[in-house]
Amino acid sequence: MRGPSEIATEFGAARISARSSSVNPPSGPVRIIAGPELTNETDRPGASRPPIAIPPDAEDARKVRLRDRFFDLYIHLPMQKIVGDRLRPADRKDPHGVEEARTQIVTALDMIERGMLQQPWAIGEAFTLADCAAAPSLFYADKVMPFGATHPHAAAYLERLKQRPSYARVLEEAEPYFKFFPQQ
């Protein structure tokens, strides 16, 4: 039986610069670069889990992938900039970079606000991978700059996400660790 160090070595060898994931389907090892590609692998016929919601319609699938990237790049990434700055020593802070990140988040929230006027989920009536990307992005963005008062439709969307049983479970299981999130 392989031990933890052998498994870690094997897993590390299958990753590119420790930033990718890999899966080992019956057809042999496949290297996966990012979340959407991992989703493609789990959505394939014969996958060991149910599909992660990428619609079969090509245009809807394109919208899902665009929104997935939108939440990662325009909400999550600038939120990480703000959090990272909180962890810096006082003499190494980047107020200009933080202000740019806040502006980027507000701009993205403005877009989400308009989009949520007519639909419950990121691309319409169906919960998709885009909503999976939105959940942590919006959750932590709301921690660094609460947006309920300024973006009520985006806040209501976040609440719908938090009510989904799978995400509610994740939040419940993560609760003991939230105390480590830098508040200021």
Residue 12 to residue 1: CA distance in whole angstroms: 18
Please write the tens of the pLDDT for every residue from 79-137. 999 999 999 999 999 999 999 999 999 999 999 999 898 999 999 998 999 999 999 99
Return the number of other C-beta atoms located less than 10 Å from residue 62's C-beta. Answer: 13
Residue 21 to residue 40: CA distance in whole angstroms: 13
The residues, ordered by sequence, that sit 6+ positions from 22 with a Cβ below 8 Å of its Cβ are 11, 14, 15, 29, 30, 31, 32
Token pair, residue 32, equals 């996966």
Q: Which domains does the chain have, with CATH numbers?
A: 4-43 (no CATH), 58-180 (1.20.1050.10)
Amino acid at 58: A
Residue 105 to residue 75: CA distance in whole angstroms: 5
Is 67:52 a contact under the CB 8 Å cutoff? no
Token pair, residue 151, equals 């973006």
Is 98:72 a contact under the CB 8 Å cutoff? no
For the chain, percent of residues with pLDDT exceeding 90 = 65
Q: For position 16, what pLDDT does the model report?
A: 45
**pLDDT average, residue stretch 56-74:** 94
Number of DSSP helices (H) and strands (E) in the chain, helices first: 8, 2
pLDDT at residue 168 above 80? yes
Q: For position 53, what pLDDT does the model report?
A: 78
Residue 182 to residue 184: CA distance in whole angstroms: 6
Our CA angle for 163, 68, 167, nearest 5°, is 20
Is 61:70 a contact under the CB 8 Å cutoff? no
Which of 100, 122, 170, 16 has its CA nearest to residue 178? 170
